[in-house]
Structure 1
């Protein structure tokens, strides 16, 4: 392939930026990032987050967009260290212990996260709308030894501990409410002025140690613990600070603000919105959930520059009558991820703004910490997901793992310092997701042009995407089979104008057993988070499967989703 020079326009510089002076395609059809490779600092996440503390110690680090409760960077640092010391002394946390964070987006989230890491622990994040059954399963799978939650969720956590037959402490975020019985006060732990910080001198964690343990369904199947090391997270943060950077540098006179409405328990909200933007000194404005009036008030009050959103929120901004150009007049960049977004929805957003906002689409997955690619600033390619980040190598392969060339569609494989260590205690899943022990199979069909521009064509994976959340069919099928009348089950995603997709179930009864669809739907609803709820049940004599027993979901879609 001929040598090329790639230039991306940038709002941060007076001229275009020279990125890589060679072709992104190698002779053996490996695809390199058009960005120059970078050196990754060998730091732990908590060291990395505060490496520039002296530059912005007094600036606001995080503020609640609903209550205006806020903390400066210096306060986050000091409180997280105090919290860490108390975790070591009062709860006997040891290096590598897993601690669960079960919270909505609150300004205390970074304090808790960095406190756990500073104490030598591993953070496993949980969805606050999980049922007791879902919490119990993650407790068991992750070997959780301590959990931090808020007052409203304490009863659910206690029920989960009973299901798990475990007894350990619950730390309750008693910021605005009284302390629930049988829990420990978070407030007292972080406001302890007599905490002995010397205990932190004994922490022995390094770049290669696991820092985060989110749970992902991968390309198929039940949720698995994704082992993200300090190096994975630090790499992905550094990869976003290069030519593909979307923020202005924080200085004495300037600080960009970003909305954190994407949930921080999810890799998108955690890795891109919270961890990376905190590491760069931005102001994080948190909202616990999407509520139209509160969301719009936050846009007006906090004059945000960066919006990281899922497609339904972009659609809301472009179509909700009460949204005006005033709400987004300071916004310099909107980035959408989690699912494809049609150009028509983007154009409606531009019409509301009465100008062309920089709009970027990104691509990633939990197993990549999570960002793999993003649209460069100044580029208007709304059907693509941009270029891969520096230090990432890609392949497009056919069914026999042969490398394909520019413009050819195949499965996307990625390799880089941001790719996970592997799934926790799951060698079979690791053997299935890695090719040659180093190439991560994304489960997505893609094509890459000669310049490295990536288009996601389709999903190989069977995950159902509900409002950007991943819903594994296998998980719902297991729940359906727990019903005493159900012999076999299948679940597929069906189109939904609001959510993108919704789960639909298919059930085969045991001989002599019957149940109504309402009874089965209610049975499942009690055991799963609201976005996973099955909306419709169809009864069949048998579930279509191939000779090896794999459910033929495409056959179900062809027959029942016309």
Structure 2
């Protein structure tokens, strides 16, 4: 991989430079309406949002909730959070009720940037968690327990371009601490975000300006780094899609000249099936898959219908992207590729990380990169996540004679449902809040169509009576759709 000079500036400065001579070119398009923001328009709107946030009392280092479906206004507002010197606390827009409260409570978040859909569903939870005001990127002004501001209001504010924002300050807080195995805040700096975007862009070696279909939410590595920021850094455009539909995606490829599509394997499965049924429009140059293992049939099917490679990448919340499968070896099945520029990795004995393993041997992947997380919110979990300066990924890998890596399993407790990470510990805590539950153990049951489905074994308190359906309803009314339990087994004893 090429040499990489780490960045010291915020990602918005990186993008401002990349687009300096093309500010009038369309950079972000709303798929559903065709509305376009040029980079100049995005830059101005983001500076106006930064001005609004400052007027609401947001200071450098303040946490600002960001929870929105994929909208061009949301992208402008996210960049605005960074220009204001604030930290974007990224919460999946599908997060609901107690799950949301847990992520916000006690963290001093008083201002948010959200979509209308999220606001309508969760305004009471946001108020309970301490939020006082929100910018609803696609909403109308209203009074209530959480005061609503609009993009129209923001556009009347003074601009704040963020010239004083330091690269060493925090830019993003993400959740889903996979290594620790629980939902917890993960801290990243501005310089780290800029460097990882640059590293992926350099490593892909694209010979075209990507027009990216953004399907995954910008609250995840796949949506933010892979689908949005890296294509923009490369001078390409992003087409924001609020809800996945494979037929709509095929129409969008033709209408907007989409050439770059990143998503989970299940998304690619449905896209390939629709293309076989309806015909594939020309123009797609590259597909990227992450979040779960990619089936060889999907990889071959994508190439057969679009005439373009579908390759895998690997990363996590704590590390951003670490490996990428070069298009020159796209036909190699099962590989997550090689380390991207700036990354060092090694495979070690999981029980003794000072002992390295060789070619073909399975072990835990350890990684170093200039953009690894700064920390978890829990210092003890931070210490456990590193060994002698190396990040312990908790994933089992092997590598071949070409330096290509292959995913072989996990050491950490995690379920992958449609590429969404689910931590059993989180669901166990919800179950144990039920007065009839004494013990709970959550695990994944294999299902080729989705990866794994979360199920639970439960031991009841003596004298208690509750049905499996009642326990399912108790949990599933409190968590996002992808975290919902599919079965509960009431047992006398738990043997994990």
- Give me the TM-score of the superposition, normalised by structure 2: 0.95
SS at match of 1:269: helix
Aligned-partner SS, 2:373: coil
SS across alignment from 1:50: helix
Verify: 1:49 aligned to 2:15, yes or no.
yes
Question: Are 1:431 and 2:383 counterparts?
Answer: yes
What is aligned with 1:549? none
Q: Please say if 1:484 is aligned against 2:444.
A: no
For the residues of structure 2 that align with 1:323 and 1:231, how far apart are their CA atoms?
45
Quote how far apart the aligned CAs of 1:325 are.
Answer: 4.0
Q: 1:352 to 1:322 in 2, by over 3 A?
A: closer
Q: Distance in 1 between matches of 2:327 and 2:106?
A: 41
- How big is each residue's C-alpha offset from its partner over 1:99-127, in whole Å with a ceiling of 9 and x where there is no partner? 01110111112211110111110001111
Aligned to 1:404: 357
Q: Provide the C-alpha distance between the structure 1 equivalents of 2:93 and 2:119, rounded to a whole number of angstroms.
A: 11
Partners of 2:198 and 2:127 in 1: CA distance: 42
1:104-156 Cα distance to aligned partner (Å, 9 max, x none): 11111221111011111000111112112122111126432211112232243
CA-CA distance at 1:505 after TM superposition: 0.9
1:512 equivalent in structure 2: 463
SS of the residue corresponding to residue 494 of structure 1 reads strand
- The Cα RMSD (Å) is 1.8
Aligned positions of 1:359-374 closer than 5 A: 359-368=310-319, 370-374=320-324
Structure 2 residue corresponding to 1:118, chosen from 65, 79, 83: 83
Aligned residues of 2:74 and 2:137 also touching (Cα < 8 A) = no
Whole-angstrom distance in 2 between the partners of 1:161 and 1:61:
32
Task: Decide whether the 8 Å contact of 2:210 with 2:234 is kept in 1.
Answer: no
Residues 39-188 of structure 1 correspond to what in structure 2 (within 5 A)? 39-88=5-54, 90-140=55-105, 142-164=107-129, 166-174=130-138, 178-182=140-144, 183-188=147-152
**What is the CA-CA distance between 1:372 and the residue it aligns to?**
0.4
CA distance in 2, matches of 1:229, 1:101: 16
- Distance (whole Å) between structure 2 residues aligned to residue 448 and residue 98 of structure 1: 40
Using the TM superposition, give the Cα deviation of residue 319 of structure 1 relative to its aligned residue in structure 2, in angstroms. Answer: 2.5
Offset from partner CA, 1:403-438 (integer Å, 9 cap, x none): 1122211000000112111112x01111111112x2
Pairwise CA distance, 1:322: 6.1
Shift of 1:256: 3.0
Query: Who is 1:466 aligned against?
Result: 417
Rg (Cα) greater in structure: 1
The answer to whether the 8 Å contact 1:506/1:543 transfers is yes
Pair 1:301-2:260 in alignment: no
Aligned to 2:304: 351
- Within 5 Å, give how 1:533-544 maps onto structure 2: 533-544=484-495
Q: 2:292 aligns with which of 339, 343, 346?
A: 339
Partners of 1:303 and 1:464 lie apart in 2 by 35
The match for 1:259 is 213
Aligned to 2:337: 386
Deviation digits for residues 366-387 of structure 1, max 9, x if unmatched? 111x110111122221211111
Distance in 2 of aligned mates of 1:247 and 1:470: 33
Cα deviations by residue, 1:182-214 (Å, 9 ceiling, x for unpaired): 33332233321xx333x667x743122110001
Q: Distance in 2 between matches of 1:123 and 1:178?
A: 22
Q: Distance in 2 between matches of 1:50 and 1:143?
A: 31
Q: Distance in 2 between matches of 1:376 and 1:383?
A: 13
Distance 1:340 1:465 in 2: 10
- Give the Å deviation of 1:344: 1.7
Q: Relative to 1, partners in 2 of residues 1:301 and 1:463: Cα closer, same or farther, differing over 3 Å?
A: same
| Closer, same or farther: CA 371–516 of 1 in aligned 2, 3 Å | same
SS in 2 for 1:216: coil
SS in 2 for 1:447: strand
Aligned length: 491
Q: Given that residues 359 and 382 in structure 1 are in contact (C-alpha distance below 8 angstroms), is that contact kept between their aligned partners in structure 2?
A: no
State the match for 1:222 in structure 2: 182
Distance in 1, Cα, partners of 2:248 & 2:103 = 31
Partner of 1:313: 267
2:203 paired with 1:238 = no
Cα distance, 1:37 vs structure 2: 2.3
Residue by residue, what CA displacement relative to the aligned partner does 1:309-336 show, whole Å, maximum 9, x if unpaired?
A: 2100111123337644433x21111111
C-alpha distance in structure 1 between counterparts of 2:203 and 2:249, whole Å: 31
- Residue pair 1:464, 1:473 contacting (<8 A) in 2 also: yes
- Distance in 2 (CA, whole Å) between partners of 1:191 and 1:223 is 35
Q: Distance in 2 between matches of 1:73 and 1:271?
A: 18
1:442 matches 2:393: yes
CA distance in 1, matches of 2:108, 2:168: 20
Residue 342 of structure 2 is aligned to residue 376 of structure 1: no
CA deviation profile, 1:484-539 (whole Å, cap 9, x unmatched): 11111011111123321110111100010011111110111110001111011111
- Which residue is 1:196 aligned to? 158
TM-score, normalising length: structure 1: 0.84
Out of 368, 371, 374, the residue aligned to residue 418 of structure 1 is 371
